[in-house]
Amino acid sequence: MIGRKMFGILICLLLMVTVLPHGTFTVDANYVSENYDLLILTYNEDFKNAFKPLQQYHNNTGVPTVIKTVDDVESEQGGRGPREIQGFIQDAHNNWGVNYVLLGGDTDFIPVRYLYVSGLPPPYSTLEIPADMYYGCFGTWNGDGDSRYGEVEDNVDFTPSVYVGRACVDNTEDINNFVQKTIDYLENSVNQQLYLRDILGVGEYLGFEPGSTDYGAYFVDDILSMLPTDGG
């Protein structure tokens, strides 16, 4: 026969098992492991909603996609400038497995990092070039700690960790056009639509030095001449 002391111990154990929350021993059913290939980083909720058809298309075709805004960047990185955006993208790469980034907005909405260029004689000695490649290469871009990014002295590693593109859109109508054209491109075979194999090369005026008449188009022509003509 069980003694009174042992009986009391058994009752206490029974009460403990009954009172303890069952959730302690189960996995949260709402937990979802986040793993994405593509990050669409855009301006606000209106822009985000306009990009959702593209997100849905990619999700349905095997490219897991997530959309975030610069508000998300600010809440997680403490700011919404180029440095914070780069940090957010790096976290997305490390934590979600993101390898592709689409910046959904013009530079008025998603800022650009300007890189320093020198080498021309006065008064054309310094220039700043907008470069979204800053967001794809996570190494230091300002190794000497001054106010100039991308100098030779900064020893920049230009090997990208993620591939970055930009949709230069200013409003939801622009986004709708961009999304529809992108989906049309993805759904149509390049063998059936010859125009999908056309490339537009754009080069700006580079004749900043007095007496120079260089145009970027000359260099674009050199690049185009190296591309295959059979669509491969």
pTM equals 0.73
CA 232 to chain centre: 27
CATH 3.40.50.10390 for the 38-187 domain, yes or no: yes
pLDDT-derived band at 121 (thresholds 50, 70, 90) equals low
Task: For helices 82-96 and 70-77, give the axis angle rounded to 10 degrees.
Answer: 90
pLDDT-derived band at 190 (thresholds 50, 70, 90) equals low
pLDDT greater than 60 at residue 147: yes
pLDDT digits (tens, 9 = 90+) for 52-89: 999 999 999 999 999 999 999 999 999 999 999 999 99
DSSP state at residue 226: T
pLDDT digits (tens, 9 = 90+) for 5-46: 433 433 333 333 223 333 332 333 333 448 999 999 999 999
For the chain, the structural domain boundaries read: 38-187, 189-232
Contact 90, 140 (CB under 8 A): no
User: CB under 8 Å to 160, separation ≥6 — which residues?
Assistant: 133, 136, 137
pLDDT-derived band at 210 (thresholds 50, 70, 90) equals low
SS3 of 67, please? strand
**Which is more confidently placed, 155 or 196?**
155
